[in-house]
């Protein structure tokens, strides 16, 4: 099984505004997918998306136009196998409407490992060219039953063979983002599977499944089986409805099956979803489990219900707050049980008791005069992501505020994520999150300057750490970056 994660290179600094002035920085995004054609062999498609407002436009007949010089070099060791240099013009811009534009290149490559070097130059601007490199692995799809990479579609329309985006009767513009906000209700996909004629049977099955990568569980309501005939190449284009898919990290798996339901091969696409779906809490008909009742005393029911906030989505938090405001002890008990019935339906009681122990632990370690343990930043991170792999504690320093660095080897599908907490008040165990490289967490580029603020003047907007001086005992930056 090949796990295909979204590889996007931002080929510039962030653009400061939405203009297309001389000072704009060229921005482009890159992805690539591998396919196979019996008549030509294994080949790669390289997709570009150029951010329209990041280029310089010049007047031409009929409007304004941008122009780029693009260099693509693919090498195998010391041998250059592809050396392609060309010019690319944007479509005409009219009435100040600036759209992104796309390009696609196809190259036949033998199976093996390669390195791709890219160089982009805005020919209408004076900025330096932008360069990037990326390793590429080409697998041999010609001899075994296999599935191509999964191409996500921005939009598709009936096309003709003269378009570079033509494929299987359609003009397919690729989507180069793996993030799907609530406004997007579907994921259109294109892929192919090969060499099914190697099967003795004339038909095969295709299983489509969505996996929650945070929990590892398959979502049965999104599972679909279809039957297909078995020529050498089978193109598949379909639209996956994600209207009812809640916020989270997911994988779409496509698995080929024999008639006897033996799994032949699998291909995977990873994506993120943001979609807060209102959860219906049917508390009126819920029968309280005696184990849940015995595990919580009356004076701590509200405490434990509120402790669910760090691991809840926004819509769930609204339900928790509503139940807390009702002051209805029975409803609060039912809410606690309902939460774990939904969160962990197979081992509800065990999951609740384990979480209860974690809440008690963070209460003992991180509570202060003003906050419960789960209300603190350290408590919230612990409950949300689990215990860190490593903790560096510096309670005393001649120049830095007290701080802790938490490092996680693994958080869901993410590796080597770090959090730094500090205590600027110097009392009350009141550590606050200062910076993290985890997606969705506070990112503070100027955190080294803040950590030594007692002895450091402010930096500037371009470099907030410009005035950070190294003093004896000042090693927070080094410790954070050692992982």
Query: How does pLDDT run across 377-414, given as a tens digit for each residue?
Result: 999 999 999 999 999 999 887 788 999 999 999 887 78
Find the CATH number of the domain harbouring 121: 2.60.40
pLDDT at 469: 55
Place of tokens 């983002």: 177
Asked, for residue 285, whether it belongs to a domain, the answer is: no
- The answer to whether position 383 is within a domain reads no
Same domain, 438 and 351: no
Residue 302 lies in a domain: yes
In a domain, 27, yes or no: yes
List, in sequence order, every residue forming a beta bridge with 41; answer none if it has no partner. Answer: 37
**Domain boundary at 375, 398, 424, which?**
375
Per the domain annotation, does 422 fall within a domain? Answer: yes
452: Cβ–Cβ under 8 A, 6 or more apart, which residues? 399, 400, 401, 468, 469, 471, 474, 476
Please report whether residue 24 resides in a domain: yes
The residues pairing with 192 across neighbouring beta strands, listed in sequence order, are 235
Strand partners, 390: 407
**Beta carbons within 8 Å of 106's beta carbon, 6+ residues apart:** 43, 44, 45, 46
456 and 405 share one domain = yes
292 vs 72, 77, 298, 322, 341, CA distance in Å?
62, 62, 12, 21, 11
pLDDT value at position 455? 63
Intervals of the chain under pLDDT 50: 1-23, 460-462, 472
Q: CA 160, CA 46: separation in Å to the nearest integer?
A: 20
Q: What pLDDT was estimated at residue 278?
A: 67
The string of DSSP codes covering 38-81 is: TTTEEEEEEEEEE-GGGS--EEETTEEE-EEEEEEEEEETTEEE
Please give the C-alpha separations between residue 65 and each of 48, 91, 132, 245, 352, in angstroms, as whole numbers.
18, 7, 25, 40, 60
Distance CA 354, CA 432 (A): 26
Q: Which of 121, 143, 165 is the last residue of a domain?
A: 143
- Per the structure, the count of domains in the chain is 3
**Are residues 337 and 437 located together in one domain of the fold?**
no
Strand 179-180, strand 263-273: pairing? parallel
448 and 469 part of one domain? yes
CA–CA separation, 303 vs 372, rounded Å? Answer: 9
Q: What is the pLDDT of residues 201-251, one digit of tens each?
A: 878 899 999 998 877 889 999 999 999 887 778 899 999 999 999 888 899
Residue 403 counted as domain residue: yes
**Judgement on whether residues 49 and 23 belong to the same structural domain of the protein:** yes
**Containing structural domain, residue 473:** 388-481
Per-residue b/e over 415-439, b at no fewer than 16 CB within 10 Å? eebbbbbbbeeeeebbbebbbbebe
Read off the DSSP letter of residue 94: -
Residues 448 and 370 in one domain: no
Same domain, 369 and 432: no
Identify the burial level of 354 via C-beta atoms within 10 angstroms of its C-beta, where 0-12 means exposed, 13-18 middle and 19 or more buried: exposed
Strands 179-180 and 203-212: unpaired
Q: Could you give phi then psi for residue 342, rounded to 5 degrees?
A: -80, -40
Residues 338, 442, single domain; the answer is: no
Q: Is 39 exposed, middle or buried (0-12, 13-18, 19+ CB in 10 A)?
A: exposed
Q: Are residues 8 and 106 in the same domain?
A: yes
Last residue of a domain, one of 123, 143, 163: 143
> How does DSSP classify residue 432?
E
Q: If residue 465 lies in a helix (H) or strand (E), which one and from where to where?
A: none
The pLDDT score that the predictor gives to residue 2 is 46
Q: Which residues lie below 8 Å from residue 77, measured CB to CB, with a gap of 6+?
A: none
> Could you tell me which residues are beta bridge partners of residue 28?
50
- Could you give the C-alpha distances from 124 to 25, 90, 101, 130, 375, in angstroms and in order? 12, 12, 16, 14, 53
Residues 392, 365 share a domain: no
Nearest one of 388, 370, 367 to 379, comparing CA atoms:
367
Instruction: Please state whether beta strands 263-273 and 2-4 pair in parallel, antiparallel, or not at all (unpaired).
Output: parallel
Residues 430 and 350 in one domain: no
Predicted model pTM: 0.63
CA distance 56 to 65: 8
Is 163 domain-assigned? Answer: no
Do 414 and 312 sit in the same domain of this protein? no
| Gap between the Cα atoms of 89 and 372, Å rounded | 59
Q: What is the largest CA-CA distance in the chain?
A: 80
């Amino acid at each position: 099984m090949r796990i295909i994660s979204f590889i996007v290179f931002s080929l510039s600094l962030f653009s400061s505004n939405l203009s297309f002035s001389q000072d704009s920085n060229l921005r482009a995004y890159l992805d690539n997918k591998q396919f196979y054609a019996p008549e030509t062999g294994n080949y790669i498609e390289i997709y570009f998306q150029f951010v329209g407002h990041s280029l310089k436009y010049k007047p031409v007949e009929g409007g304004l136009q941008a122009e780029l010089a693009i260099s693509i070099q693919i090498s195998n060791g010391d041998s250059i196998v592809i050396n392609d240099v060309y010019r690319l013009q944007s479509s005409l811009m009219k009435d100040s409407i600036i759209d992104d534009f796309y390009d696609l290149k196809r190259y036949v490559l033998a199976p093996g490992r390669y390195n791709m070097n890219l160089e982009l130059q805005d020919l209408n601007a004076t900025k330096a060219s932008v360069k990037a490199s990326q390793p590429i692995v080409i697998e041999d799809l010609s001899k075994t039953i296999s599935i191509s990479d999964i191409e996500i579609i921005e939009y598709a329309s009936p096309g003709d063979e003269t378009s570079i985006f033509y494929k299987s009767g359609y003009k397919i513009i690729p989507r180069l983002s793996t993030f799907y906000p609530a406004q997007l209700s579907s994921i259109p996909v294109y892929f192919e599977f090969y060499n099914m004629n190697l099967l003795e049977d004339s038909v095969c099955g295709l299983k489509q499944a969505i996996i929650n990568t945070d929990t590892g569980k398959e979502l049965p309501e999104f599972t679909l089986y279809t039957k297909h005939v078995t020529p050498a190449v089978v193109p598949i284009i379909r639209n996956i409805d994600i209207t009812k898919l809640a916020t989270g990290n997911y994988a779409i798996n496509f698995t080929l099956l024999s008639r006897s339901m033996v799994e032949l091969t699998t291909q995977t696409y990873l994506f993120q979803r943001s979609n807060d779906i209102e959860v219906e809490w049917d508390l009126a008909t819920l029968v309280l489990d005696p184990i849940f009742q015995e595990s919580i005393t009356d004076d701590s029911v509200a405490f434990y219900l509120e402790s669910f906030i760090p691991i809840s989505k926004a819509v769930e938090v609204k339900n928790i707050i509503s139940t807390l405001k009702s002051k209805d002890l029975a409803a609060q008990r039912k809410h606690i049980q309902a939460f774990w019935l939904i969160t962990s339906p197979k081992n509800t009681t065990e999951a609740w008791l384990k979480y209860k122990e974690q809440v008690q632990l963070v209460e003992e370690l991180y509570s202060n005069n003003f906050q419960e343990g789960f209300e603190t930043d350290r408590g919230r991170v612990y409950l949300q992501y689990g215990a860190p792999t490593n903790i560096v504690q510096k309670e005393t320093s001649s120049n830095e505020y007290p701080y802790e660095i938490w490092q996680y080897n693994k958080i869901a599908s993410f590796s080597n994520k770090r959090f730094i907490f500090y205590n600027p008040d110097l009392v009350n165990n009141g550590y606050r999150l200062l910076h993290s490289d985890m997606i969705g967490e506070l990112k503070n580029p100027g955190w080294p300057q803040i950590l030594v603020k007692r002895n450091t003047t402010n930096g500037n907007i371009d470099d907030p750490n410009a005035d950070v001086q190294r003093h004896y005992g000042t090693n927070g930056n080094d410790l954070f970056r050692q992982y």
